Amino acid sequence: MDFATDDKTVNLQIAREYKSLLKISYQTLSEDDKALIRKALDVAIEAHSSQTRKSGKPYIFHPISVAKIVASKIGLDAQSIASALLHDVVEDTKYSIEKIEEIFGKEIAKIVDGLTKISKLKKEKILSIQAENFRKMLLTLNDDIRVILIKIADRLHNMKTLDYLSEEKQLKISSETLYIYAPIAHRIGLYEIKTELEDLSLKYTDSEVYNEIKTSLEKTKDDQNLYIRNFARKISEKLKSENLEFKINGRSKSIYSIRNKIIKKNISIDEVYDRFAVRIIYDAEPVLEKLIAWKIYSIVTDVYRPNPTRLRDWISTPKSNGYEALHITVVGPNKRWIEVQIRSTRMHEIAERGYAAHYKYKLGDDKESGLEKWLNRLQEVLKNPDSSAVNFVEDFKLNLYSDEIFVFTPEGDLKSLPKGSTALDFAFHIHSGLGLRTRGIKVNGKIVPLNFKLSSGEQVQIIKSNNSKPSASWLDFVITSKAKSAIRSSIKENKKQIGEEGKEILRRKLKQLKINFNENNINKIQNFFNLQTSLDLFYRIGIGTIDNSDLKKYANSQNAIIKFFRRKISDKPLNKSNDTISTTYDQLVFGNNDERLDYTLSNCCSPVAGDKVFGFVTVNDGIKVHKYDCKNSISMQSKFAYRILKCKWIDSTQHDYTSKIQIIGIDNIGLVNQITTVISENLSINMRKMSFDTEGDTFKGSITFRVKNKNIVDKLIQRIKKIKGVYKVVRD
């Protein structure tokens, strides 16, 4: 094979990578397949011969790496591997899509064209570039799902080589990965890739937490392996006596999921006990898989006591993305709770490789797979012209990580919905037209409210009326994207008439304010009131929720954000007095030049001095400062990366901040007095609010106070923890 390059070392490395690519392929490659992959590699080498990556490495190693992910981790065929090798050729080189079709045929050209279109999406004035990219990316699923799978592989390799980019680009790309690519990988069933994307993203969005958890996992790795051997030893003989072919191994919880548990449970990393699960993977013919799974379950629970509330049977009712397994939680050695996942080899491959494994094991019937059902439902929402990109993304993401429930129609058909779905969600799930005409709903033969939350096993009947119309209040309780999209579309029709009237009212009002009625000014007013479309603006003016006084506020605040950036603290002090700010004043500085700008601390996460924070430029309120682990952080950094400001604390001793702690413990006599003494005497903290509630022999307390910085809060928490009877102290 002739590699056109002057560098013999690179030439040899490419040859090794090519051989590795063929060797690790999940699919069995024929000689024709190998010839196709080789031809694609030759074209890619020639096309990228003069290009290098930010790392300085020849560019060709990027498409080869993407192809290896496609071949092994996703498990696609030779055409997909060839397309992965060619995925950047049309975008970055002299090759045209017509030339690719001439060399490789229509199918590969179509995939490469889809990948090129995603990369070339115009970054024009849209509400959220990332959200629009997401929708357009999903639209390619209608043509060939391999486009999105190769794009996910491309993103995974880019995440693995992110070290060579600037900090700003690392943060933006990582946030976008968490916001877009990890959820879609999860939904398609690519659990291994989803986990890698999440962990790599956390490495750049919160490196301190990432490194802390990674170090902790590495320290306990030997203990984990020993524990798994002890666990397996007690059940292996019994499994062998049943003539089962199996293997038992451990799976560490991902760094990202551990971090989420720490935040959700308000605990330290040492308190996360379920850091790994045990997997039992067995060989079986498809017709015997379920029987053998329950046999293994019986053997495991004979040896280890199970928690009956933690049984998850995804073999009888697989998840909608095709995931199958039995999950049980048992008391293992040393009286530790441990999750055990029981899967056949087929189930395991589907869990790891998703789509490709579905094809390998697909039975010869006409039933749609879970993935195909999902794609069909997704198309309806994707093609709805009235659905904004941001609404689509947010609604879509709500359904990604949720558990499922299974309910019945009056005819006995089984339907799956996300956990938390309402009776009205069910109506829209059956058909959008039926949902819009819903007058009432019966669950198990009894009339229930439309917002009634469904549970698995219930039978649901829709009562319809041609005179029924959807209400805006429906959006407050439906959770599925299909329902939200259909309701918004219907309501929008009703808004149009009022919007036309509001448009004329606005035209007259702007004339009085000496502001031209044109598209540019309408967009500015729309953004000022944080509205998504001009119709929303005209509608609110039409019904009077935006009046003369509101429009005058807009007139007085044009170019507010630009003025805000230009205003330095040296020109206008933050405090209301005329005193100048000294160099030791507790302050945040922004940007690469450490500028001092006006800001306010956000209420959603209440940062204090010392917290890792960033600035977000709002439309109306200037810069809002958020903690990096704020619940809104990823969404803001992905959707509005251009409005993110780097910031850091330059001093934390001269300014007070409000902080709040929660205390849980045993209700001992004098305990509250001890706590207040620690707060008031030791650290000179100014208490603002305190409340304690008791239940039985336990109590829960909440204390709000003013502090100088984060270190004082940490010291206070440590001192209160030492008081006898106090069980837990956490910062709220």
- Given 17, 91, 192, 386, the catalytic residue: 91
Cβ(491)–Cβ(473) below 8 Å: no
Report the distance separating Cα 572 and Cα 575, nearest Å: 9
Q: Which sign, positive or negative, has the C-alpha torsion 645, 650, 654, 660?
A: positive
H-assigned helices in 422-480: 423-430, 432-436
Name the nearest CA neighbour of 629 among 603, 656, 611.
611
What does the chain come to in residues? 732
Contact 144, 110 (CB under 8 A): yes
Q: How many other β-carbons are positioned within 10 Å of the β-carbon of residue 557?
A: 13
CB-based contacts of 665-668 (< 8 A; 24+ apart in sequence): 665/698, 665/699, 665/723, 665/725, 665/726, 665/727, 665/728, 666/697, 666/698, 666/699, 666/725, 666/727, 667/694, 667/697, 667/698, 667/699, 667/725, 668/724, 668/725
Residue 92 bears catalytic tag? yes
Of 26, 66, 23, 20, the residue nearest 354 (C-alpha): 26
Give the whole-angstrom CA distance, residue 333 versus residue 324.
27
Structure tokens at 490: 């219907």
Q: Is the dihedral of CA 478, 479, 485, 491 positive or negative?
A: positive
State the DSSP code for 581. Answer: P
For the record, the structure tokens of 102 come out as 């001439």
Q: Of the listed 92, 501, 629, 656, which one is catalytic?
A: 92
Strand blocks (E) in 380-535: 404-408, 414-418, 438-443, 446-448, 460-464
Q: Can you read off the two tokens belonging to residue 176?
A: 């976008």
Residue 123 DSSP one-character state: -
**Strand 337-344 relative to strand 276-282, pairing:** parallel
Task: List, by residue number, the catalytic residues.
Answer: 91-92
